[in-house]
Structure 1
Amino acid sequence: MLQYIMRRVLILIPTIWIISVITFVIIQLPPGDYLTTLQAQLAAQGDGSLGAAQLERLTQRYGLDQPWYVQYWMWFSNIIFNGDFGESFDYGRTVSSLLGERLPLTILLSVLTLLFIWAVSFPIGVYSAIRQYSAGDYAFTFLGYVGLAVPNFLIALVLMWLSLTYFGQSVGGLFSPEFRDAPWSLARVGDLLAHLWIPVVIWGTAGTAANIRILRANLLDELRKPYVVAARARGVPRTKMLIKYPVRVALNPFFSTIGWILPGLIAADAITSQVLNLNTTGPLLLRALMAQDMYLAGSVLLISAVLVVIGTLISDLALAWLDPRVRFRY
């Protein structure tokens, strides 16, 4: 097992480096850049000389007149050796400070959403498998199809409309107006917890529906295998037999999805976060891409990609612990 872990950890180093190169190349692909847009805006406002001076200063500071691989090394080496992700052109602040404000809340929401997905999909998936074709199975199957088909941002819009229409209050944001800019306190933490369930339920809808379908299908496949039939014939209690063997094997997809659920929540749900007015990294990435803010966009994409790698490592280790066949194979 230790050899398996070491091999997986060593693979991370070249993988993260390759990801950083691809990320930087991708953010350089669109024509033009933020500085060109800034120069055009300043020129339109009659500040052409100021725009030229500011453009020259930023170009020299970040080496934007150098080839892309020189710019990449300046960016990546600063991240590795100094922990400096660069400066956001659009916000006029360091990327580290912007991420420091939004990343903790994003990670909190992502972890809570993952726990919500597991807590809801596990019992429903097991129930649907052992009560196949029952009324409850049909009901959960229908809800699963709805959860997969309806986009999260549409669910957010419907929830906001219902809340405003029938309850007279908004469900947007993570804080009430009086706590939005207040310093941290027990009251502010309580207000945050009171608002967290809304984005958690909305973000977790599609993941919960998908996991229910996967667990149901895997468990149905396991329940028809000869070892289950033999265990039943030998008089093994149904609950003990179900939990110890088929459910354990069918749980593999729960652990294997860690690698894509967490980073997907951090970067891919930008529209839902925008609709709900959440101070997460999703809207930050969306604005950075629209403004061609290369260092901010590249940093968010890099962090998301690194989370994919780390999540995949956690999935591999969890699967190796859960399923001995993984350890024996590798």
Structure 2
Amino acid sequence: MLRFILRRVLWMIPSFIAVSVVAFIIIQLPPGDFVTSYAADLATSGSPADPATLEAMRIRYGLDQPLVIQYFHWIWNALNGDLGVSFEYRTPVADIIWGRLGMTALVAFCTLIFVWIVAFPVGVYSAVRQYSVGDYIVTFLCFLGMATPNFLLALFVMYLSVTYLGYSVGGLFSPDFENAAWSLPRVVDLLKHLWIPVLVLGVAGIAALVRIMRANLLDELGKPYVETARAKGLPELTLILRYPTRVALNPFISTVGWVLPVLVSGDVIVSSVLSLPTAGPILIQALKTQDMYLGGALIMFQCILVLIGTLLSDLLLVWLDPRIRYDR
């Protein structure tokens, strides 16, 4: 196991280099640069910038240098803990990311717990009661959940909240608590708003995991070891939860691989629709304005967390399922 971990960690080094190159290329793909986008915004507003001022900005941000030099300058500073300064926000990139990471982690964690709590029992019920009325209802709802885009569901929930509940659910706080200090009323206000993004983000995950859980459990229920345990007189519920369900839990553990990148980006479209103070909206804005340091850092963090999350999920699978071994 130790050799496997060391081998995976060593493989993360070239993966990190490749990810940093891809992240930098993604930022540079659109024509022009941040100064070009800034000049276009000024021209749209009716006050075009002076060419000398734009050239001075390009020199100040190092955008006049070749792309190769810009990349090595960016990655060297990043390795030394300096992620640069956001062109648009005039703030260190690390401060922007850490300022948004708390709420992003809260939404992601609550969504994950919600998905697991709902998908596990529903998936087990759907498999054990195969072809029953309840199984058909669950199957229909799962297909509906997977087919409905999350942003469309977010708009629908917002409309219902405003129309029938009488209050707006945009963001995670009401305007009165947006910048207030933490207190019990602010926590209560957070909980009033938190259920909307958790519900919207969790619907597709629940639908997918229920279908996977049902298929895996049905495959395990027909195996000889289940029949042997049943012949020994084990209660049906104890048998199902102790043996086949434990094996069918592997997809739940595998979701750790995508939980960590969600901590950085979240569902960017849903976050924008619901005006959530997470990292997703600033990632979209950074890509739109070609804010190289901010956008590159967010993309790079997301890809690195995929590598870390995949390693953690593999280790958890070994601990949960004795059939999985990585030593050979």
- Are 1:75 and 2:74 counterparts? yes
The one-letter code of the counterpart of 1:60 is I
For 1:286-317, what per-residue CA distance to the aligned partner results, in whole angstroms no more than 9, with x for missing partners? Answer: 11112222222111111111121111111111
For 1:98-129, what per-residue CA distance to the aligned partner results, in whole angstroms no more than 9, with x for missing partners? Answer: 21221211111111111111111001001111
- Report what 2:154 is aligned to: 156
Q: CA deviation at 1:191?
A: 2.1
Question: What secondary structure is seen at the aligned counterpart in 1 of 2:323?
Answer: helix
* Residues 186-205 of structure 1: pairs in structure 2 closer than 5 A: 186-205=184-203
The one-letter code of the counterpart of 1:29 is L
- Report what 1:273 is aligned to: 271
Contact map agreement 2:85 2:294 (CA 8 A) in 1: yes
* Residues 160-179 of structure 1: pairs in structure 2 closer than 5 A: 160-179=158-177
For residues 137 and 117 of structure 1, the distance between their equivalents in structure 2, rounded to whole angstroms, comes to 18
Structure 1 segments (4+ residues) deviating >6 Å: none
Q: Cα 1:65–1:47, aligned 2, differ >3 Å: closer, same or farther?
A: closer
Contact map agreement 1:129 1:220 (CA 8 A) in 2: yes
Using the TM superposition, name which of 292-301 and 116-125 deviates more.
292-301
- Report what 1:96 is aligned to: 94
The one-letter code of the counterpart of 2:233 is G
Question: What secondary structure is seen at the aligned counterpart in 2 of 1:210?
Answer: helix
- Report what 1:298 is aligned to: 296
For residues 259 and 141 of structure 2, the distance between their equivalents in structure 1, rounded to whole angstroms, comes to 20
- Report what 1:28 is aligned to: 28
For residues 326 and 273 of structure 1, the distance between their equivalents in structure 2, rounded to whole angstroms, comes to 37
* Residues 114-129 of structure 1: pairs in structure 2 closer than 5 A: 114-129=112-127
Using the TM superposition, name which of 22-31 and 145-154 deviates more.
22-31
Equivalent position to 1:113, from 103, 111, 129: 111
Question: What secondary structure is seen at the aligned counterpart in 1 of 2:324?
Answer: helix
For residues 133 and 26 of structure 2, the distance between their equivalents in structure 1, rounded to whole angstroms, comes to 49
- Are 1:139 and 2:137 counterparts? yes
Equivalent position to 2:47, from 25, 45, 48: 45
What is the aligned-residue RMSD (CA, Å)? 2.0
Contact map agreement 2:108 2:266 (CA 8 A) in 1: no
Contact map agreement 1:111 1:262 (CA 8 A) in 2: no
Q: Cα 1:299–1:328, aligned 2, differ >3 Å: closer, same or farther?
A: closer
For residues 238 and 231 of structure 1, the distance between their equivalents in structure 2, rounded to whole angstroms, comes to 9
- Report what 1:182 is aligned to: 180
Contact map agreement 1:114 1:262 (CA 8 A) in 2: no
Normalising to structure 1: TM-score of the pair? Answer: 0.92
Q: Cα 1:26–1:233, aligned 2, differ >3 Å: closer, same or farther?
A: same
- Report what 2:209 is aligned to: 211
Using the TM superposition, name which of 230-239 and 312-321 deviates more.
230-239
Q: Cα 1:39–1:218, aligned 2, differ >3 Å: closer, same or farther?
A: same
Q: CA deviation at 1:329?
A: 5.7
Normalising to structure 2: TM-score of the pair? Answer: 0.92
Q: CA deviation at 1:203?
A: 0.6
Contact map agreement 2:268 2:284 (CA 8 A) in 1: yes
Q: CA deviation at 1:40?
A: 4.6
Contact map agreement 2:256 2:312 (CA 8 A) in 1: yes
For 1:40-98, what per-residue CA distance to the aligned partner results, in whole angstroms no more than 9, with x for missing partners? Answer: 555762541xx523532x433443222222211211121221x2222222222222222
For 1:6-57, what per-residue CA distance to the aligned partner results, in whole angstroms no more than 9, with x for missing partners? Answer: 3333332332222112111221122111112324555762541xx523532x
The one-letter code of the counterpart of 2:75 is F
Question: What secondary structure is seen at the aligned counterpart in 2 of 1:64?
Answer: coil
